Amino acid sequence: MSDLSPIGADLIPPASWVAERAAADGPVADAAHRPAWSGVGPLVELCLALMAAHPGLRRLAYRTFFQVLARRSQDAAWWTCMNYGYAPCDGPPGDAPVPPHAGAEAAERTSLQLYDHVAAAVPLAGREVLEVGCGEGRHLIQIAKAFPEARCIGVDIDPTGMKQAREAFAKARLDKRIELVAGEIGDAVADGSVDAVVMIEVLHEIAPGIRQAVIDGCAKALAPEGWLLIVDETYPSTLAQAREADYLFPVQTGFEELTWGNVLPTRAEQDTLLADAGFTDVQRSAVGDIFTVITARKA
C-alpha cells in the first residue's frame, strides 16, 4: 500500500468513476457538484472563485486574514496558546486541574495542560530547553517558572507572535531568563547544546519540502541522548490506519488544513523524518483521537 496523504491518489476517485456517476445521476449530480458557496452573493462568489482558481491569491488572503486576527487578538489576554489542549479522561475538560504556575492565564488551562503532559515525559529540571514554534511564548513562561534552573529558548518565524511573547516575558519579569530568536534553529542555539526540543502543533505547519531540514536542525541542536518532544496531527499512512480511532480527527481535518496550505504529515513521513535525522527510541501515544505525542532520542 502506498503512503496516503491528504492529497493522495488513493483517496481521489478515478475520473472514469466520477464521469459514470455524473452520467447516471444526471441533473442531481450537477446540483451536488455546484460549489458550496454558490448563492452567497455575486461579489463574494467572485472572490471565492478567484481564490479557488489561484492558489497564490488564496494563500495571500488566508495570511492576511490570520494576521488581522492575530493583531486584533493582542488585547485578548486570555488567548495566548495556539493548541487544542489536553485534559485527562477521568472528568469533564472544565475539571482539568489548573497547571502549576498558570497564573492569570488559567483560562487556557487545557492548552497549558498539554505542555505539562508532554514535558512530564522527560526530566527538564536544570536543563536547557528549546521550543521550536513557540508562538506567544506561554509555555516558555510556564517552564521557566516551574524549573527555575532551566534555560529556556524559543524560536519562531512569526514576528507578530514573537512581539507578544517578548511583552509577556517582560510582564512576567522573565525576560532575562528566556531567550527568543526569530528565524532558524541554528540562529538560536549552538550545535549539541540543548537537552530537550519541544514542538507543539508545529510540524504540520512546516512546508513538506523543508520539514527534514527542521528536524535535522533539532537533532543538530540536541546534546547526545537529548530528547525531541513533538505533538502533532498524524495523517494515516494506510487505509487500515485510516479506520483507527487515533486518526479520526486528522482524517477529518486533513482537507481543511489544506485550504490554508498545511499538508498533514503521515505517520510514515514522521517516522522517516526522525530516522533520517538520527533519532532512536521513538515512542508514540495518542491524545484523544486528535493528536499524537512523539518522544524520540538523539542517538
Ligand X SMILES: C[S@@+](CC[C@H](N)C(=O)[O-])C[C@H]1O[C@@H](n2cnc3c(N)ncnc32)[C@H](O)[C@@H]1O
Which range of residues in 75-83, 143-151, 235-243, 255-263 is near ligand X by CB under 6 A? 75-83
C-alpha angle 291-226-196 in degrees, rounded to nearest 5: 55
**For helices 138-146 and 159-171, what crossing angle results, to 10°?**
30
According to CB under 6 A, which one of 130, 144, 214, 228 is a site residue for ligand X?
Answer: 214
Q: Examine residue 216 and tell whether it contacts ligand X (CB under 6 A).
A: no
Rg (CA), the chain: 21
Question: Residue 57: phi, psi to the nearest 5?
Answer: -65, -40
List binders of ligand X among 260-299 (CB under 6 A): none
Which range of residues in 40-48, 49-57, 80-88, 144-152 is near ligand X by CB under 6 A? 80-88
According to CB under 6 A, which one of 48, 98, 146, 157 is a site residue for ligand X?
Answer: 157
- C-alpha–C-alpha distance, residues 109 and 98, integer Å: 6
Closest CA to 9 of 244, 55, 17: 17
- C-alpha–C-alpha distance, residues 182 and 184, integer Å: 7
Under DSSP, the state recorded for 266 is: B
Give min distance, CB of 183 to ligand X, in A: 8
Q: Examine residue 206 and tell whether it contacts ligand X (CB under 6 A).
A: yes
CA dihedral 60, 63, 68, 74 (to 10 degrees): -160
According to CB under 6 A, which one of 6, 85, 161, 226 is a site residue for ligand X?
Answer: 161
Cβ closer to ligand X: 104 or 239? Answer: 104
According to CB under 6 A, which one of 141, 200, 229, 294 is a site residue for ligand X?
Answer: 200
Which range of residues in 31-39, 96-104, 155-163, 232-240 is near ligand X by CB under 6 A? 155-163
- C-alpha–C-alpha distance, residues 169 and 180, integer Å: 10
* Residues that contact ligand X, how many (by CB under 6 A): 18
Give min distance, CB of 40 to ligand X, in A: 29
Cβ closer to ligand X: 202 or 241? Answer: 202
Q: Give me the 100-139 binding string for ligand X, x by CB under 6 A, dash otherwise.
A: --------------------------------xxxx----
Give the DSSP letter string of 219-257.
HHHEEEEEEEEEEE--B-SSHHHHTSGGGHHHHHHHHHH
Q: Examine residue 6 and tell whether it contacts ligand X (CB under 6 A).
A: no
- Whole-angstrom distance between the N-terminal and C-terminal Cα of the chain? 30
Q: Examine residue 205 and tell whether it contacts ligand X (CB under 6 A).
A: yes
Give min distance, CB of 198 to ligand X, in A: 8
Cβ closer to ligand X: 141 or 206? Answer: 206
Which range of residues in 1-9, 35-43, 98-106, 198-206 is near ligand X by CB under 6 A? 198-206
* Cell numbers placing 16: 472514469
Query: Is the alpha carbon torsion for 23, 28, 30, 34 positive or negative?
Result: negative
Which range of residues in 45-53, 64-72, 120-128, 194-202 is near ligand X by CB under 6 A? 194-202
According to CB under 6 A, which one of 5, 51, 83, 262 is a site residue for ligand X?
Answer: 83
β 222-232/291-298 pair status: antiparallel
| Cβ atoms 112, 139 nearer than 8 A | yes
- List residues near ligand X by CB under 6 A: 81-83, 132-135, 155-158, 161, 200-202, 205-206, 214
